[in-house]
């Protein structure tokens, strides 16, 4: 009987662990900051200056057939990614303009981590 209880407790812990791990990432769509996997993004108060910076740089806009959403992946070819200047925060992400929206992207996976309004 004791072994069954211990086995059941171990099973509950094993099943509950992935749920607890998922709770560590915060994904919010809209004007609130988006944090995926704990990575730093551009602070809310710096977003207007960052939008102005992107416009001043005249970065070409790319088009993709799918809707651009946080968590989505951009194509591996045909899009150029640019470094975020240090003045907007120490971020490992890059930015690009897709379908008229400025997005922050994780460079290795090309996963969208934030859509800048």
Q: Compare 18 and 5 and report the one with higher pLDDT.
A: 5
Structure-block tokens of residue 114: 């934030």
User: Which residue ranges make up each domain of the chain?
Assistant: 28-116
Per-residue pLDDT, averaged over 77-102, amounts to 91
Residue whose structure tokens are 């996963």 = 111
pLDDT given for residue 33 in this prediction: 41
Percent over 90 (pLDDT), the chain: 50
Fold annotation for 28-116 = Nuclear Transport Factor 2; Chain: A, (3.10.450)
What is the C-alpha separation between 59 and 18, in angstroms, rounded?
Answer: 40
pTM strictly above 0.75? no
What is the C-alpha separation between 105 and 15, in angstroms, rounded?
Answer: 31
What is the C-alpha separation between 17 and 22, in angstroms, rounded?
Answer: 9
Show Cβ contacts of residue 12 under 8 Å, excluding neighbours closer than 6 positions.
none
């Amino acid at each position: 009987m004791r072994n069954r209880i211990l086995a059941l407790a171990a099973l509950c812990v094993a099943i509950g662990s992935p749920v607890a791990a998922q709770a560590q990432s915060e994904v919010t769509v809209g004007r609130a900051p988006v944090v995926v996997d704990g990575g730093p993004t551009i602070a809310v108060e710096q977003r207007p200056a960052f939008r102005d910076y992107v416009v001043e740089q005249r970065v070409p806009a790319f088009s993709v057939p799918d809707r651009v959403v946080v968590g989505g992946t951009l194509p591996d070819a045909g899009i150029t990614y640019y470094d975020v200047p240090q003045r907007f925060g120490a971020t490992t992400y890059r930015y690009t303009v897709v379908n008229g929206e400025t997005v922050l992207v994780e460079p290795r996976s090309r996963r969208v981590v934030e859509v800048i309004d």
